[in-house]
Amino acid sequence: MARRKYVVGNWKMNGLSAALADAQAIFAGAEDHSAVDVAICPPFTLVGAMVAAAPGSAVGGQDCHSATSGAFTGSVAAPMLADIGASLVIVGHSERREGFSESDADVRAKAEAGLTAGLSVILCVGEPRAVRESGGAIDYVLAQIAGSVPESFDAHRLAIAYEPIWAIGTGLVPTVVDVAAMHGAIRRALAARFGGAAEDMRILYGGSVNGDNAAELLDAGDVDGALVGGASLTAAKFMPIVAAAAALG
């Protein structure tokens, strides 16, 4: 079945108020590619301001707590994101899994919290380089899928992002054959567990995506879009990725 391409910018810990102009330029440019869903996840400090600066655009958070409220200093709850106009949230990014020791159970709880709050969720999975080199990448990622994906969800509001850890921000990119093999394995695992709902879920690729390699990566089997880091910070770098997605329909 045809799934709309989905291109999401993860600004990570980058962006002051002046960067809102870049977001406005990105969303304005995205209007010329209406067949592609485009979103930006800025740091928490810019979510509300970006929603106000680009009304009607898809703006999200980069993480959320699994609880709806409580004594969790420094954390942000999914209902808080929804309250300021966010429409999506990223959970399980490798920088959270590795840097903050988040387990599959933690990621699953956050995904459930995001969905319950009415947000769309992008759930990240991916293997470290040693696992890739040992030949165990697919088993590793499918174990993350098994442990992180909630039992109940709206398939149109949950996307999986495959981001090999060794490719994030390094300039290293897996081959198109490897990307297609991983995405196909993820799709089959989801279908075995959830049946037909798996066909509606979008599986994104992330890891050193840029304007030069986007067309090739996005055309790989079962790749429904991209989760983009550094290349999403400016319209000049991000829009060629969106255009590549649009060209593929």
Q: How far apart are CA 83 and CA 117, in angstroms?
A: 9
Q: How far apart are CA 16 and CA 167, in angstroms?
A: 26
Whole-Å CA distances, 23 to 74, 187, 239: 25, 32, 11
Residue closest to 89 by CA, chosen among 67, 68, 110:
110
List strand residue ranges (DSSP E) for 131-196, in order: 158-162
Rounding to the nearest 10 degrees, give the CA dihedral for residues 96, 184, 59, 34.
160
State the residue for tokens 């045809």. 2
Task: Answer whether 87's CB lies under 8 Å from 119's CB.
Answer: yes
Element (H, E) at 88: strand 88-91
> Catalytic amino acids?
93, 163
Q: Which two tokens stand for residue 180?
A: 């297609």
